[in-house]
Structure formats: structure tokens, C-alpha cells
Amino acid sequence: MQTPAQRSPTTGLLLGLIITLASVVAYSFYITVQLSGLRKLQSEMVDRNRKDSLQLLRLQNDLNSVALAMRDMLDASEPYPLTAWSAQFERVREDLDVALHLEEQLAGANRTAEQRNYLTQSVAQFWDAVHRMFALAADGKEAQAREQIRLTLQARQESLSTAVSRLLVQNNEGEEQAAGRIAAIYDGVHRQVYLFLLATLVAIVLTSLYLIRTNRIIFARLAALSEQRSELAQKLISTQESTLRHISRELHDEFGQVLTAIGSLMGRAGNHLPEGSKVREEVQEVREIAQTTLDNIRSLSQALHPVLLDEAGLVGTLDWYIPTVERQTGLAMHYEKSGTAFPLDGGASVHVYRVLQEALNNVSRHSGAKEAWVRLKFLTDALELEVEDHGKGIVVEKNGRGIGLVAMRERAEIIGGTLELLQPGIGGTTVRLRIAREKVESHGS
């Protein structure tokens, strides 16, 4: 079962992403609905009210024209008969009918049935009275016709003008209400935008905090695993060195002594045999085989754990080892020493020697180079070892995780140093090991 520290943050992040996307979709839908309602309100109410108001103003203008005409008709000084005004009244009536028809279409739900009926009936009654007035005038009864204007037509015209004015006021009030509703919608959208931005900011902050916490846990675990790996590697290297030292000592002491004794016994036995005898030659041959085997065992013992490190130190060991590598591998070795040597701790010497050993093995096996340069530098504040070749070079992606390179890096970490893989300008590889002097210098007597 996974603990909270081991649980992957993927589920939480996916859940946060789903919630965020759902919020964005919901908010987008809300904004779309609000804007759609706003467009509908503007197009269906504001624009219709404005057009309706224009038609009402047209009606009012026609009624005012009729009022002016009736005032002139009542003026006794006018030389024209009342019937002369019939053509003007007919033009006003046509325009008034068109305006009234358009107004009814634009008003729509903004008018009650009573308002529509009242306006239609009032206009019809007005024109009916106008017809009667002109009929009287046509019969030569102009006095009665003027009386009809004073008593009936002017009153009906004023009533119609008042009704149109009320409708204009109603339209203005409707526009004000629509403007208020539009402002309310805008305010609501603004509030929702701020709330959405705040919620998004909170979600980002919470997600960031979650990621930071998860990353801290992951990196803490990685650091712990790295430390455990490093400790394990150091223990493995320490165990390896102890095992190699033991095997080297056994080979040198046990088998070396046995072979030395065999060679000595064979030498003494051969001395008791006659010169030129077949047995003496065979004994001598066995003695030479024992000596060759002894030399091989000593070489193997030195390769496993050079005793010279304990006896002659790192410099003396390298003076012996580098010519040995040149002889065994055929590489042309260029060995350089610089600086004033200082005594090295025994454990540090072993690790430096192993790094050199692995680096030269890589040159011999993988680089394809025919030469190698080894530089041992005793600096004022550090010890530096370089192994350079001009071969194919190390492909980090392919060989960067090789056990040899890993071991070299672990050994460098054990003694507090750094290991670098560099590429010289002319190609190849340079392995550089650098350790601070206080990490490797021996302070013993």
C-alpha cells in the first residue's frame, strides 16, 4: 500500500485540471447566456422602443399639423373655404395611418390591448368627425363646420396628442428601465469576472502549493534514495577492497610461500642429481614452472591490491604500475608528475589508484588510442590526476552509466573529490580527478 509520500500527484493534478476546465466551461456558458440576453434586450427592447418613439413623434407631428390647420380654418380672415383644406387633411391622414400601423408593429408586447384599442378608436373617431365637418362645409354650412371644429375636432386632437405623449413617456420609462437592466447585467458580469479570476487565482495557488509540497516530498525521497545508494556503493567498494586485499594477501603469502618452497626444494633436489641426467633436467623444468607461476601470482596479487601502496605510497606505486600497463597493453604511456609531493592517506591512495586503473582500462579497451597521458599534479591546495587519450571519446548517452564510470564517481565522492569527463580539442577523452589537499593528506607520524 502506498503512503502519502509515495502516492503519485497525477490523480490530484488531473482532478484539479478537470475542475478548472469545468469551471471555465460553466463560466463561458454563463457569460454567453448573459451576453445573449443583453443583445436580445438591446435589440428587442431598446431598439424597438427607439423606433416606436420615432413613430410616436411622427404621430405627434401629424397631430400638430392638424391642430395648426384647424386653427387657420377657424380664422375668419382666411379667404379660402373650409373645403380647400381637405387635400392637406388627406395627406396627413395617409401619413398618420402609416405611422400608426408601424407603431402598432413596433410596440408589440409593450402595449396593452386597451391602449391599442383606445388609440385606434380615437383616430377613427377623429377622422369620422373630420369627414362630417367637411361634409357640412361642402353643403355650404361653414358656420356649423367651424363649430364642429371648435367643439369636437380640437378636443379629439388634444386627446390624441395627450395619448401619444403618454406613450412617449412610457417608452422613455421603458428605455430607462432597459438601461438599468443592461447596467445590472454588466455589473453582474463584472462581478462574475472578478469572482472567476479570484477562483482561478486560488486554484492556481492551491495547485502550485500542492505541486511544491509534492515536489519537496519527491525530492526528499530522491535525496534519501541517493544517500542510501551512495552509502550502499561505498559499502560495496569498501567490501570489494577488503576482499581484494584479503585475496591478494592470500595469494602473496600462502601460494607465494608454497611456490617459493617448491622452487627451493626443487633446487636442492636438482643439486643432488648427476649433471646432465634426465631427471635433473625435469626437476629444473618444474622449478622454472614454479618460478613463473610465482611471478604470475605476484603480478595478480599486485593487480588485486598493490602492496606497494602500503610500502611505497601512491607515487611509488604509479612509478611501478604505469610501465607495467605499457608492457601489458602496448599503449605508449606518457607519465608526468608536477608539484611538491605530500604524504597521502592510505585509503585515499587506494581510491586514486583504482580511478587510474579504471581510466587506463577504458583507454585500452574502448578508445582505440595508441597513446595515453597520465598527469599527477600536487598543487598547493589539491591533488589532481588526469588521464588523457586521443581516441574515439566517451559517448555519455551510451557509456555514461557504465559500471566503471559509476565506480570512479563513487570513489571520488568517498574521498570528497570531483570527477570530470572532458573532451580535448583534438578529440578523445580526459578523465580528471581533483581532491582537496585536506581530504587526502596524511597527518600521521
Are 182 and 322 found together in one domain? no
What was the pLDDT predicted at 110? 67
What was the pLDDT predicted at 383? 92
Work out the pLDDT band at 193, boundaries 50, 70, 90. confident
In whole angstroms, give the CA distance from residue 104 to residue 313.
Answer: 115
Q: Specify the residue for cell string 610501465.
A: 323
Considering the chain, what is the average pLDDT of its residues? 81
Are 206 and 310 found together in one domain? no
Residue 363: exposed, middle, or buried by beta-carbon count in 10 A (0-12, 13-18, 19+)? buried
Which range is least confidently modeled, 64-68, 163-167, 204-208?
204-208
Half-sphere exposure for 30 (CA within 13 Å, toward CB): 16
CATH number, residue 404: 3.30.565.10
What was the pLDDT predicted at 343? 86
Are 193 and 60 found together in one domain? yes
Work out the pLDDT band at 401, boundaries 50, 70, 90. low
Does the structure show a pLDDT above 70 at 109? no
Q: Which of 21-25, 74-78, 144-148 has the highest mean pLDDT?
A: 144-148
Query: Looking at the domain assignment, is residue 335 inside a domain?
Result: yes
In whole angstroms, give the CA distance from residue 386 to residue 433.
Answer: 6
What was the pLDDT predicted at 223? 82
CA distances from 10 to 65, 205, 245, 398 (A): 80, 17, 50, 31
Query: Looking at the domain assignment, is residue 60 inside a domain?
Result: yes
Interval 369-397 mean pLDDT: 86
- pLDDT tens for 143-177 read 898 888 888 888 888 988 898 888 888 878 877 77
Which range is least confidently modeled, 7-11, 114-118, 155-159?
7-11
In whole angstroms, give the CA distance from residue 65 to residue 88.
Answer: 9
What was the pLDDT predicted at 41? 65
Question: How many domains does one find in the chain?
Answer: 2
Does the structure show a pLDDT above 90 at 277? no
Does the structure show a pLDDT above 70 at 398? no
Which range is least confidently modeled, 183-197, 231-245, 392-406?
392-406
Query: Looking at the domain assignment, is residue 5 inside a domain?
Result: no
User: End of a domain among 212, 232, 263?
Assistant: 212
Are 38 and 168 found together in one domain? yes
Query: Looking at the domain assignment, is residue 337 inside a domain?
Result: yes
User: End of a domain among 179, 212, 245?
Assistant: 212
* Helices 346-362 & 313-329 angle (0-180, nearest 10): 20
Residue type, 196: F
Query: Looking at the domain assignment, is residue 48 inside a domain?
Result: yes
Are 183 and 78 found together in one domain? yes
- In the beta sheet, which residues pair with residue 374? 335, 387
Interval 367-382 mean pLDDT: 91
Which range is least confidently modeled, 55-69, 74-88, 225-239?
225-239
Task: Please give the residue that has the higher pLDDT: either 139 or 297.
Answer: 139
Q: Specify the residue for cell string 626443487.
A: 266
What was the pLDDT predicted at 6? 54
18-27 long-range Cβ contacts below 8 angstroms, 24+ apart: 19/203, 20/200, 20/203, 23/196, 23/199, 23/200, 23/203, 27/192, 27/196
Does the structure show a pLDDT above 80 at 118? yes
User: End of a domain among 178, 212, 246?
Assistant: 212
What was the pLDDT predicted at 445? 47
Work out the pLDDT band at 44, boundaries 50, 70, 90. low
Are 45 and 174 found together in one domain? yes
Which grid cell is 384? 589532481
CATH number, residue 166: 1.20.1330
Interval 281-297 mean pLDDT: 80
Query: Looking at the domain assignment, is residue 247 inside a domain?
Result: no
What was the pLDDT predicted at 336? 93
Interval 350-371 mean pLDDT: 88
Does the structure show a pLDDT above 90 at 122? no
What was the pLDDT predicted at 434? 94
What was the pLDDT predicted at 309? 77
Are 204 and 321 found together in one domain? no
Are 199 and 319 found together in one domain? no
pLDDT cut 70: percent of the chain above it: 88
Work out the pLDDT band at 295, boundaries 50, 70, 90. confident
pLDDT cut 90: percent of the chain above it: 10
Please, where are the H alpha helices in 110-153? 113-138, 142-148
Please, where are the H alpha helices in 251-277? 256-271
The full length of the chain comes to 445
Q: Note down the domain range covering 434.
A: 306-440
Which grid cell is 248? 591478494
Query: Looking at the domain assignment, is residue 421 inside a domain?
Result: yes
- pLDDT tens for 331-351 read 999 999 998 888 888 788 888
Does the structure show a pLDDT above 90 at 433? yes
pTM passes above 0.85? no
Does the structure show a pLDDT above 90 at 432? yes
Interval 223-238 mean pLDDT: 74
Work out the pLDDT band at 385, boundaries 50, 70, 90. very high
What was the pLDDT predicted at 413? 86
